[in-house]
Amino acid sequence: MAKAKEHAKDDGFGDNIKMDALAPKLTQLGGIVGALALVASLAVGFTGGNKSQFMHSYLTAYAWVLSIGLGALWWVTLQHLVNAKWSTVIRRVGELLASTMPLLGLLSLPIVIPTLMGDTTLYLWADSHKMHGDHLLHKKAAYLNTGFFVVRLVIYFGFWSALSLFMFKKSVEQDKTGAPEIRSKLQAVSAPSMLLLALTLTFAAIDFVMTLEPKWYSTIFGVYYFAGAVVSFNSFLALTLMWLQKNGRLARSVTAEHFHDIGKMMFAFTAFWAYIAFSQFMLIWYANIPEETEWYHIRAHGPWGTVSFVMVAVNFVIPFFGLMSRQVKRNKKALAFWAIWILVVHWLDMFWLVKPHMHTESLPFSILDVTCTVAMLGLFIAAAAFNSQKVNLVPVKDPRLDKSLAFENF
């Protein structure tokens, strides 16, 4: 629940809403660190005999960062769809994070190119002979083949890039013209886009992660990935806004009220993730179909059994009670702690989804997990910072801005 209160503006906007010198500095720093980490990862992976480790580490990091970008795109689309007012002042930051979709498409190439060449390090189905030689897989070959895989990815990233850049471009255009019809146009586009986003996100999660084990299937795996995407994006959004305020941006515009609502989303989707995770496990356990239970069997024994047990605690129980309090959501230091916590355990979730495919006796953690994650995160931040140059950090002529600035939680 929320109500509006009087909000007095100073001359002009009354706040620092430009990145200015921060944008090129952050672009350069993120780009250099990310590029160096990516080159180092490729060098170690392909010249040091660590190809399998590299491919799985890269996919883990990629799935993690992609989820943040998709969470941002979903969040921006949602704000337009429901005509949200509270989030207007922070929506531009979400748009900037979502605008990284073209880069995320390019970063999929180290996964796509080897698969297209028939490399089965990640995906058994990249070899058509193995697919047709297995009676459990040959009927899936019409979907699980390299040609159709590439076509689907072109569709996914083409749609995500077009949608994110359209939302961003129209929002910035409104800063210049103040045209009220832009709001209606964005809302109209957001309705069908939300349906297409749900479908493409679901199938992308299946293609990149679920098909690592082509015999396994889950009808709610896409929802599982979506839940992690939303909670991780809101955590990243909170940290981004705090960093901006620490550097003198949005210091007055973004208040404890806005952080409170971001914290609500973090809390809600922590619970939602747990609900979907349990639902997936319970339904597969109850049905007891061999093709389904094998996936959980690997994750229930040995070191992976320990990770699974830890996941329940760190991904649900601890943050659930940690974020429950109203005071925590309104305290930036406390909220920052839980935001970092959630991003770390969401990475662990991606590790738990991807790495058992390597079938090693011990947990296959290596320095490549670090370098690939640094590479993804650095380039992701650099792309968002690059797009923030010459634009306001707030949609200054959005007709809902006054209500957002005056937003107050009960």
Mean per-residue pLDDT, 392-409: 93
One-letter amino acid identity for 126?
A: A
Alpha-carbon torsion angle 306, 310, 312, 313, nearest 10: 150
Closest CA to 334 of 224, 238, 191, 247: 238
| Boundaries of domain holding 150 | 31-409
One-letter amino acid identity for 330?
A: R
Side-chain half-sphere exposure of 353, counting CA atoms within 13 A: 28
Q: What tokens appear for 188 in the block?
A: 């109209």
Q: For residue range 112-130, what is the model confidence (pLDDT) as tens digits?
A: 999 999 999 999 999 998 8
In the numeric block, the tokens 């690592």 are attached to 212
CA–CA distance, 126 with 341 (Å, rounded to integer): 36
Instruction: Determine the pLDDT at residue 362.
Output: 87
Give the pLDDT band (50/70/90) at residue 50: confident
Residue 245 lies in a domain: yes
Confidence check: pLDDT of 11 > 70: no
Closest CA to 334 of 260, 244, 252: 260
Listing DSSP states for 309-347 in one string gives HHHHIIIIIHHHHHS-SHHHHH-HHHHHHHHHHHHHHHH
Give the pLDDT band (50/70/90) at residue 6: very low
Helix (H, G, I), strand (E, B) or coil at 85: coil
Closest CA to 23 of 243, 340, 201: 243
Q: For residue range 216-228, what is the model confidence (pLDDT) as tens digits?
A: 999 999 999 999 9
Closest CA to 131 of 146, 153, 110, 150: 146
At residue 124, φ and ψ (nearest 5 deg) are -60, -35
CA–CA distance, 125 with 133 (Å, rounded to integer): 11
Helix (H, G, I), strand (E, B) or coil at 2: strand
Instruction: Determine the pLDDT at residue 9.
Output: 39
- Of the candidate ranges 5-14, 55-64, 80-89, the one whose mean pLDDT is the lowest: 5-14
Q: For residue range 62-114, what is the model confidence (pLDDT) as tens digits?
A: 999 999 999 999 999 999 999 999 999 999 999 999 999 999 999 999 999 99
Q: What tokens appear for 123 in the block?
A: 């995906």
Residue 11 lies in a domain: no
Q: For residue range 302-318, what is the model confidence (pLDDT) as tens digits?
A: 999 999 999 999 999 99
Angle at 369 between CA 365 and CA 372, to 5 degrees: 165
Confidence check: pLDDT of 234 > 80: yes
Residue 13 lies in a domain: no
R_g of the chain computed on alpha carbons: 22
pTM over 0.75: yes
CB proximity list for 13: less than 8 A, separation 6 or greater:
253, 394, 396
Residue 128 lies in a domain: yes
Mean per-residue pLDDT, 212-238: 96
Residue 72, number of CB atoms within 10 A of its CB: 28
Q: For residue range 342-378, what is the model confidence (pLDDT) as tens digits?
A: 999 999 999 999 999 998 888 999 999 999 999 999 9
Q: For residue range 140-197, what is the model confidence (pLDDT) as tens digits?
A: 999 999 999 999 999 999 999 999 999 999 999 999 998 889 999 999 999 999 999 9
Residue 209 lies in a domain: yes
CA–CA distance, 370 with 374 (Å, rounded to integer): 6
Instruction: Determine the pLDDT at residue 72.
Output: 98
Give the pLDDT band (50/70/90) at residue 409: confident
Report the residue count for the chain.
410
Instruction: Determine the pLDDT at residue 12.
Output: 54
Residue 154, number of CB atoms within 10 A of its CB: 12
Mean pLDDT of the chain: 93
What's the domain count of the chain? 1
